[in-house]
Amino acid sequence: MSQQIIPIFIPTYISDATFNPSRVLPRLFFFNGLVECENYYIESGSLTEAGVVKEQTSFPYFDNYNVVTGSFPTDGSKSLLFNNEAVSYGSLPSQSLYSTYWDTYISLLYNPKTRLLSCKAIIPLADYVEMELNDIVNFRGNYYHLRAINNYSLKDGVCEIQLLGPIIPDTFSDLQPTPEPAPTGGFAEVSWSFTESNGANGNFGIYRNGSNVVTATATSTGNLRVSGSDVINAELYPVSWVAGTSMSLNINGGATVASSASTDVTITGSFTAQTGSLYFITGSINFNSPSGCCTPTLNTASVSGGDIQIFFTTGSAGCDACNSTTIQTSTDGVTFGNNNTAGCTSPRTLTLPTSSLYYRIRVDCATTSSGFSNSYHFISGSGTATLLWSFTESNGGNGIYDLYINGTSVENRNSSANGTYTVYVGDVIEVGCNADQCTGGGNTYTNIQVTGEITDAACQNNGSIPSYLSPGYTVVSGDIGTNLAVDLTVSCNSACL
């Protein structure tokens, strides 16, 4: 029998004191799982067809606040509101969107001891792309928040900035960075570019006196101002190597360093800057010969409502681009047909079959198609499996029990109980228990035992087990139409069982 039966709360939005309805725009809510409630009924049908009445004992719980533990919001729950409203269930969270993300900033902005400064600066491009609003900067011996960077020039790094501060003592802790010494001895200019071609992927980096000042993981260009006598290094290496790959690194118009080895390599070059000079660094990585239209891998399939979702992985870097994918089915795993062609994004969704089927998939490129993947046998039944769960407190043992489906608690009990739950292919089943300390007589060992589809145990002498969570069991297609069992027992004993 259920341990809690609560009334259903349906939010109502009104526009005035006479309870006229209000137009409500789309908004975000937390989904907190299913909650047991007083029985209600859903009826279907039409003027020409008889209806069917279904009794419901739970409802999907959406709220402005999320559930951290148990079934309802608590003081530590997150909020989607700037000003928290009275709760329908549980207790009101102590934090809101405003207190979490804006309170400190607004308080600093309107503090009479702070001010907004507008000034000009020269910021190297490598630093500019890494900077974020609200970074801490040093200006004339004081630390400020960076509020804005406007009118940035890619040519020479000149820009207009706004600073908020100075930072009031104790407003922030341990956030004051050590300012980098200003360059001396004049300046040199470095223009750099990085190119990925033909599906290649690589990383490109520039180092100034041993410190990384430029990192590029995609085709890009930029400028870097350095001081005379700075030592500049450049580095280029592939993320994954494919036969026929070539790399080249060209520094200041000098000799090209190249490689087409069959194993991963890194190529580097360096120079010492001279005042007033202009330097060029170019790096490129290329797949000379793509691998063609690569055969995908069919990973798994799962039931979603009245559909089946086919999960797959297409080829790695170097493969020709995917234009579409084609799924075929078979009743015997030998003769395939019934082409179903759609996009390249996994998963592909098809109508749930009424009988067991084999599935396979291929990639269709611009002018060619790959071979077909491995086949996956989906065993059709009722479309669901029934989980038989039980929680038993034995020999003086006490605890709080949770049944988790895909990480969400669907059953929470504090005394012996049992029941059933409907599961689908791909669902992950776990059980948890917070067990009290055993103190009776010589039975000082607190034992948790899990049997059935999950086999596990935990034990503690003269202590509680505050946060036990079992390994997970994933429902597979072969479970459909069957009964699964997971039983958890908490007991007091004279030794670990």
Same domain, 126 and 36: no
DSSP state of 182: P
122 and 202 inside one domain: no
> Is residue 153 situated within a structural domain?
yes
Q: Classify residue 181: in a domain, yes or no.
A: no
Instruction: Tell the residue number behind the tokens 């089946």, with chain if given.
Output: 308
* Position 292 in a domain: no
Do 355 and 402 fall within a single domain? no
CATH number at 323 reads 2.60.40.10
Q: Does residue 99 sit within a domain?
A: no
Of 235, 253, 287, the residue at which a domain comes to its end is: 287
Same domain, 268 and 305: no
Nearest residue to 301 (alpha-carbon basis) of 349, 362, 373, 342: 349
Q: List the chain pLDDT tens, one digit each, 497 residues.
A: 344 567 776 667 777 888 787 888 888 888 888 888 888 888 887 777 777 888 888 888 888 888 887 778 888 899 988 888 888 888 899 899 888 888 877 777 777 777 788 888 888 888 888 888 778 887 776 778 888 999 998 888 899 999 887 776 555 554 444 544 444 456 788 888 888 877 677 788 888 888 888 888 788 888 888 887 788 888 887 776 554 567 788 887 554 555 554 455 678 888 888 887 888 888 887 765 556 788 888 888 877 767 888 899 886 656 777 889 999 998 888 889 899 999 888 999 998 887 778 899 999 887 788 889 888 887 765 568 899 999 999 999 999 999 999 889 999 999 999 999 988 877 899 999 999 999 878 899 999 999 999 999 999 999 999 999 999 998 887 787 789 999 999 999 999 98
Distance CA 410, CA 487 (A): 15
Residues 412, 349 share a domain = no
Q: Are strands 399-405 and 428-435 parallel, antiparallel or unpaired?
A: antiparallel
214 in the same domain as 126: no
Structural domain including 20 reads 1-89
Q: How far apart are CA 10 and CA 292, in angstroms?
A: 56
The domain that holds 270 is classified in CATH as 2.60.40
253, 287, 321 - which closes a domain: 287
Q: Does 389 share its domain with 374?
A: no
Phi-psi region of 395 (alpha: psi -120 to 50; beta: other; left: phi over 0): left
Q: Domain for residue 219, yes or no?
A: yes
In a shared domain, residues 76 and 125: no
What residues pair up with 164 in beta bridges, in sequence order?
116, 145
Among the three residues 245, 269, 287, which one is the final residue of a domain in this structure? 287
Asked, for residue 176, whether it belongs to a domain, the answer is: no
Instruction: Indicate whether 65 and 83 sit together in one domain.
Output: yes
Please tell me whether residues 210 and 264 are part of one structural domain: yes
Same structural domain, 84 and 25: yes
Domain count, the chain: 5
- Whether residues 19 and 80 share a domain: the answer is yes
